[in-house]
Amino acid sequence: MEAALLGVAVAAYGGAGSAAVGGTILGRRVDAAVAGLLAGGLAAHTVSLALRWDRVGHGPFISMFEVLSSNVWSLTLVFLLAFLRVRAVRPAAAVALPFVFVLLAWTLATHPDDGHFPATYRTLWLYAHVAFGKVFLGALLVATALAALVLAGPRGLATLGRAGVEGEVAAESLVLRFVALAFVFESLMLVTGAIWAQDAWGRYWAWDPLETWSFLTWIALAGALHARLAWRLGPRVTSAMVIAVFALAVLTFFGVPFVSTSLHKGAV
């Protein structure tokens, strides 16, 4: 049943991404179809994750398959909420959803092993740490997708214009709103992670690879915000910095945890 429901989610996510890209190319509004397919896919994915959680006895954050699958779920959820709440975000679906689908394809290519749930993970701080991290990455995905449309030039701005975003300055303002949200939640992720580390290993910080890369991502995000506010950089420069920070965040979330040999691996 888990696999069948995940298959339904794959089909729905793929349909939503295809509709978003097709609608952008043809200049047609497909918002209702995208939202409906995402909601249906999320519903099936949620039940699949819940069934797995009940079967293996722990949340989806241990094995590589679980980490990827739960991040696909959370990225889709955050994007759908932004899509429904902020009309101007809707054109960004053509950029954000293909990235989510790539992660989903990677998920399906990994072995769905159950993993081992260590004693150090039995704390509520872990759940807070993971939740804040997922909101951070979701908000940054929205910002990055919008930034990509800004960098796309007149065609991208025209797409945003159909959603009520007039010009580069307005588009940049929207990008910065989601970047600021991402910064808040990444800060919370680091704080709760340090508290969890104190409970689990008797230290708040040890500069292991994942901690170091997470801090570098936070520095890069803070630096991008500071540079924009202090030096009044143009919308395209700001957008390029946001995309660079997102690339660093992707490496932190989906690269370092699977190659690190330290205790704080992220995938056990």
Q: What is the pLDDT of residues 171-180, one digit of tens each?
A: 999 999 999 9
In this predicted structure, the answer to whether residue 255 has a pLDDT above a threshold of 90 is no
Choose between 105 and 206: higher pLDDT: 105
Q: What is the DSSP string of 66-132?
A: HHHHHHHHHHHHHHHHHHHH-GGGGGGHHHHHHHHHHHHHHHHHS--------GGG-SHHHHHHHHH
Q: Is the pTM of this model over 0.85?
A: yes
pLDDT of res. 3: 92
pLDDT of the residue at 75 = 98
Measured CA to CA, the distance from residue 160 to residue 153 in angstroms comes to 11
Q: What whole-number distance in Å separates Cα of residue 39 and Cα of residue 54?
A: 22
Q: Which pLDDT band holds residue 262 (cuts at 50, 70, 90)?
A: low
Boundaries of every domain in the chain: 118-258
Identify which of 23, 171, 176 has the alpha carbon closest to the alpha carbon of residue 93.
23
CB-CB contact of 71 with 79 (8 Å): no
Q: What is the pLDDT of residues 50-73, one digit of tens each?
A: 999 999 999 998 888 999 999 999
